[in-house]
Amino acid sequence: MTHNITLIPGDGIGPEVTLAARKCIEATGVKIEWEEVIAGEEALKKHGDILPPNVLESIKRNQVALKGPITTPIGTGFRSVNVAIRQALDLYACVRPAKSYPGVRSLYKDVDLVIIRENSEDLYAGIEFEEGKAETLNLIAQIRKYAQKNIRTDSGISIKPISRSASERIIRFAFEYALENNRKKVTAVHKANIMKFTDGLFLNTAREIAKEYAGKVAFEEAIVDNMSMQLVQRPRNYDVLVLPNLYGDIISDLCAGLIGGLGVAPGANIGEKIAVFEAVHGAAPKYAGQNKVNPAAMILSGVLMLRYLREGAAAQKLENAVRQVLQEAKSVTYDLKPSRDDPTSVGTREMAEAIISKI
Ligand code: NAD
């Protein structure tokens, strides 16, 4: 069977790593018809829109996409295209496995965690009020009236909505994921001691849903600051973590650090019927076009995609090939060598070729 898949190369290092992933996926023998579409700055230049309608149309039609990272200007400029895609398609579950591979230098061996991050709300909802604007001053006055709290009039405000329904579906997703993948424990991560009505709601929902899985999957809760320390001290004590959007974003980079860096951290954004696969890392603009960065995170995102497509054998073949190349640590990019200027490091293309040769 041929799978129709949307391919978004992205920008920065995106086009290089997606091309590497595409070649590796094709080398497994799985038949794929790629439909390439552009989003982000290039789309803005060509079509006057950072997220042209044909991008979402293509993903909706094909139901599966492989996506490179897309740059978001910091502080000013357009909002994240990455977040917009997740929100527009209601890809509510971000799944980010953090798994140690032998040969990858890191402080730990045998880390095997899965981060399940809520993708649709929290401070990422994009509800923001700019400092000094009339509506912001109005909102500040309303808050003063209803909450009887003073907010400085020269403040900007970002809103953090967390709902029972979105919490319920992500927590259920985490428990179902644990069951399907033979995982033993789900840890809900929060800051409910401070944010009682948002993180508190998330936590209470987790406690309720956990009861339905009692005896099948263990449940535990952790405050996000303490979780950060625990993960650094004892990462092997954890299994599946479920988190609201912002903590999920931060903790997934921390977990990438536990397994040797962003170069080996894959991810998926999953909704009811649609899934978009992308690495945890961003567009790393300083390395763009240099054939330098590690394609493994994107290739391993391809492995997740193949599993999602029920191409289990091809997924396993590709993951084994990546594992072998990482273990040999010969044909790998600079970030996987003992020093960053190691002359034996290879480029993005060459590492992908080495992986293909092991399939
Ligand atoms: P980044 O992940 O792009 O890069 C941070 C650093 O990590 C790089 O400088 C590099 O040293 C290292 N790195 C990242 N990917 C690597 C790889 N494949 N191989 C080797 N080393 C790698 O994070 P950033 O600098 O914070 O973000 C750059 C841009 O990417 C920003 O505009 C940001 O908004 C965007 N971004 C996009 C996504 C996405 O598309 N989903 C995710 C995160 C960041």
For residues 203 and 287, give the distance between their C-alpha atoms in angstroms, rounded to a whole number: 40
Q: Which two tokens stand for residue 205?
A: 């929902």
Give the tens place of pLDDT for each residue, 6-59.
999 999 999 999 999 999 999 999 999 999 999 988 898 888 889 999 999 999
Residue 340's pLDDT is what?
86
Give the tens place of pLDDT for each residue, 193-203.
999 999 999 99
Whose tokens are 């790393």? That residue is 284
Q: What residues are in contact with ligand 1 under a 6 Å CB criterion? A: 17, 69-72, 82, 262-263, 278, 281-284, 286, 293-294, 297, 335
pLDDT higher than threshold 70 for residue 78: no
Distance (angstroms) between ligand 1 centre and the Cα of 19 equals 17
Return the ligand 1 atom nearest residue 67 CA.
Answer: 40
Q: Which two tokens stand for residue 224?
A: 């996000």
Give the tens place of pLDDT for each residue, 291-347.
999 999 999 999 999 999 999 999 999 999 999 999 999 999 999 999 989 999 999
Is the alpha carbon torsion for 83, 241, 234, 108 positive or negative?
Answer: negative
Domains and CATH numbers, the chain: 1-94+266-359 (3.40.718.10), 107-121+161-258 (3.90.190), 124-159 (no CATH)
Confidence of residue 76 (pLDDT cuts 50, 70, 90): low
Residue 91's pLDDT is what?
97
Distance (angstroms) between ligand 1 centre and the Cα of 140 equals 35
The DSSP result for 52-94, as a single string, is -HHHHHHHHHHSEEEE------SSSSSPPHHHHHHHHTT--EE
The DSSP result for 116-168, as a single string, is EEE-SSGGGG--EE-TT-HHHHHHHHHHHHHH-----TT--EE-----HHHHH
Residue 55's pLDDT is what?
97
Distance (angstroms) between ligand 1 centre and the Cα of 267 equals 14
For residues 120 and 209, give the distance between their C-alpha atoms in angstroms, rounded to a whole number: 19
Q: What radius of gyration do the chain's Cα atoms show?
A: 21
For residues 78 and 338, give the distance between their C-alpha atoms in angstroms, rounded to a whole number: 38
Catalytically active residues are 124, 191, 225, 249
Most informative mutation of 95, 281, 291 for ligand 1 (most atoms within 8 A of CB):
281
24, 160, 270, 332 from 324: Cα distances, Å? 14, 43, 28, 11
Residue 73's pLDDT is what?
74
Q: What is the 8-class DSSP label of residue 259?
A: T
Average pLDDT over residues 81-97: 94
What's at 183, amino acid-wise? R
Confidence of residue 262 (pLDDT cuts 50, 70, 90): very high
pLDDT higher than threshold 80 for residue 74: no
For the chain, give the percent of residues with pLDDT over 70: 99
Residue 41's pLDDT is what?
83
Give the tens place of pLDDT for each residue, 202-230.
999 999 999 999 999 999 999 999 999 99
Q: Looking at ligand 1, which residue's alpha carbon is closest to its atom 27? A: 282
